[in-house]
Amino acid sequence: MANSHIRNRLEGIRQMLMGAHHAGGPLSSASKGNEREAFINGFLAEVLPPQFRFGSGDATDQSGVKSGQLDIVVEYPFVPSLPIVSGKSPRLYLAEGIVAVIEVKSDVGEQWGEVTETAGQLA
């Protein structure tokens, strides 16, 4: 039998994240970045173990190849990543420090080409 306490807590978190998503719906693409920030700071960084850091930005490898914009980056905390001004700005990530990348799309069917393009840039 499922644990009702965990189910209730997860449902509350889902409702909060969906509220942030709903509130950003009519806004510009740039403003919708707040949805991503809510997901990163309000869920990933609070729920997953502290051996990971979360953010967004671009990645580069040792040969200088750059990925382009990455929506959500999961990185190891022992490898540096470089913000512009503060910890909340987009970062330049070293490829060796990236654990995973999460691509955020409002309609994955419509935007699948963008997903595969980003995956190609990461390769």
Q: Are residues 28 and 53 in the same domain?
A: no
| Range picked from 22-31, 33-42, 68-77, 82-91 for highest mean pLDDT | 68-77
Of 93, 84, 104, nearest in space to 53 by CA = 93
- The DSSP symbol for 40 reads I
pLDDT digits (tens, 9 = 90+) for 52-111: 888 889 999 999 999 888 888 999 989 988 888 765 778 899 999 999 998 877 677 888
Q: Are residues 76 and 106 in the same domain?
A: yes
How many domains in the chain? Answer: 2
Question: What are the C-alpha distances in Å from 102 to residues 31, 32, 55, 59, 119?
Answer: 19, 16, 10, 13, 10
pLDDT of residue 7: 92
Q: Are residues 31 and 87 in the same domain?
A: no
Q: How far apart are CA 20 and CA 17, in angstroms?
A: 5
Range of the domain at 81: 49-123
Q: Are residues 9 and 27 in the same domain?
A: yes
pLDDT at 8 exceeding the cut of 90: yes
Q: Are residues 116 and 71 in the same domain?
A: yes
Q: Are residues 33 and 91 in the same domain?
A: no
pLDDT of residue 105: 73
